[in-house]
Structure 1
């Protein structure tokens, strides 16, 4: 959408906003820098980078209230569960709303007057039209230009390829649990430092929320980044045994196991927007 606004296909926008969780892959930050220099600046479109903090550091800080990631849980009785997904709201939507209020001239706790609003573009293609939804606040009205254009994901890829941006990476946390095996392999095989980082984080969250542990409320089970619920360094990201595949059948299909959930981590169309599993845990794993 930024490129379409820059080349005149879509109206020129006032701002583009990137919500930074602090733990994106290096490739995402490099791509953002390139977009800013080659696309946004020549078109006179400022890119605003907003943040609520570093999600990785916050997760391991016992003094910080952590908005939980959707981690895979292995309960003591052997049953599977997941922690609730709060990270999108805390690290994406919240800082964007804060910046929008500032741009409108009504920072929190000021009330935004009725009739004062921004039109916010959300990049949902026709393949995922069911994800289009309102912002939830009156001062932000979500629009979906790709739906208006009738563009599919393939149309977007062809357009980006013509611009020399075919290598556009997915925006998601380095340690996002919605990665597929192909994404985990890509990190392991192409970026040893980032692989060491996610392996260390996976080990660090095994007992759950650092704050909960510090206050004597440890996780009722064990937490993992990989669907197999084994340490990431040992997870079957190169192949899956028949027994593992059978155990995972209720959770995902073959494409998701390999490629991950196809949608990127957009504030209003999080890749994890799916029904919660039966066994859900609050506060990084405490039983709901």
Structure 2
């Protein structure tokens, strides 16, 4: 949408906002800088970076309240489960809303006057039209330009390729539990330092987040980043799933998308991850 606005296909936006969880892959930060340098600045569109902190550091800090990631749980009786997903709201939606209120000139807790609002564009394509929702606050009105244009995910990929941006990476936390095997393999095979980082984090959260452990509320089971519920460096990430095989039989674009994590991941207003039975707390599980 930024590129479409910059080239005049869509009206020029006032701002683009990037919500930084503090734990994105290096490739995402590099790509953001490229977009800012080659597309946003020449078009006069400021990219605003907002954050609620570093999600990795917060999870390992015993003094910090942590909005839980959707970790895979193996209970003591062998039953599988997941911790509640609060990270998208805390680390993406919350800082974006804060910045929007600041731009309007009415930071929290000042009440935004009735009738004053921003039009917020959300990049959901026709493939996921069911995720297009209205804003939950009156000072924001959501619009979905890609759906209005009738663009599918493939249309977006073809457009990015025409701009020389075929290698656009998926924005999601480096250690997001919703990664597919292809994404985990990509980290392991192409970024050893980031792989070591996620393996260390996976081991560190085995009994829950640091604050829960420090308060004596250890997880009554074990937590993992990979859906197999085994340590990440032992997980079967070399197994090619049925979805990956199906993508390989379709177009090259579809296969590329799967490798980049379009299916599994999250965005500020439409986290794509589907969860199983949810546990009520990161530190305690039934």
TM-score between the two structures when normalised by the length of structure 2: 0.92
Shift of 1:173: 0.2
Which residue of structure 2 lines up, in the alignment, with residue 270 of structure 1?
Answer: 271
Shift of 1:254: 2.9
Which residue of structure 2 lines up, in the alignment, with residue 33 of structure 1?
Answer: 33
- 8 Å CA contact 1:122–1:143 kept in 2: the answer is yes
SS of 1:128 mapped into structure 2: helix
Aligned length: 273
Which residue of structure 2 lines up, in the alignment, with residue 247 of structure 1?
Answer: none
Which residue of structure 2 lines up, in the alignment, with residue 171 of structure 1?
Answer: 171
- 8 Å CA contact 1:117–1:140 kept in 2: the answer is yes
Which residue of structure 2 lines up, in the alignment, with residue 254 of structure 1?
Answer: 242
Q: 2:281 aligned to 242, 265, 283, which one? A: 283
Could you tell me which runs of 5 or more consecutive residues in structure 2 were left unpaired when the two chains were aligned: 246-257
Shift of 1:209: 1.6
Which residue of structure 2 lines up, in the alignment, with residue 249 of structure 1?
Answer: none
Aligned pairs for 1:51-90 within 5 A: 51-90=51-90
Query: Distance between the aligned counterparts of 1:199 and 1:263, measured in 2?
Result: 19
- 8 Å CA contact 2:179–2:264 kept in 1: the answer is no
- Structure 1 residue 138 and structure 2 residue 138: aligned? yes
- 8 Å CA contact 2:50–2:99 kept in 1: the answer is yes
Shift of 1:256: 7.1
Deviation per residue, 1:24-60 (Å, 9 max, x gap)? 0000000000000000000000000000000000000
Deviates more, 1:1-10 or 1:256-265: 256-265
Residues 96 and 256 from structure 1, CA distance in 2 versus in 1: closer, same or farther, beyond 3 angstroms?
farther
Deviation per residue, 1:234-259 (Å, 9 max, x gap)? 1111127xxxxxxxxxxxx7327986
Deviation per residue, 1:128-172 (Å, 9 max, x gap)? 100001121000111000011000000000000000000000000
Deviation per residue, 1:212-253 (Å, 9 max, x gap)? 11011100100000011000011111127xxxxxxxxxxxx7
SS of 2:14 mapped into structure 1: coil
Which residue of structure 2 lines up, in the alignment, with residue 148 of structure 1?
Answer: 148
Query: Distance between the aligned counterparts of 2:106 and 2:266, measured in 1?
Result: 28
Query: Distance between the aligned counterparts of 1:208 and 1:282, measured in 2?
Result: 13
Aligned pairs for 1:89-238 within 5 A: 89-238=89-238
Could you tell me which runs of 5 or more consecutive residues in structure 1 were left unpaired when the two chains were aligned: 241-252
- 8 Å CA contact 2:123–2:145 kept in 1: the answer is yes
Superposition RMSD in Å: 1.5
Query: Distance between the aligned counterparts of 1:165 and 1:228, measured in 2?
Result: 33
Query: Distance between the aligned counterparts of 1:29 and 1:264, measured in 2?
Result: 17
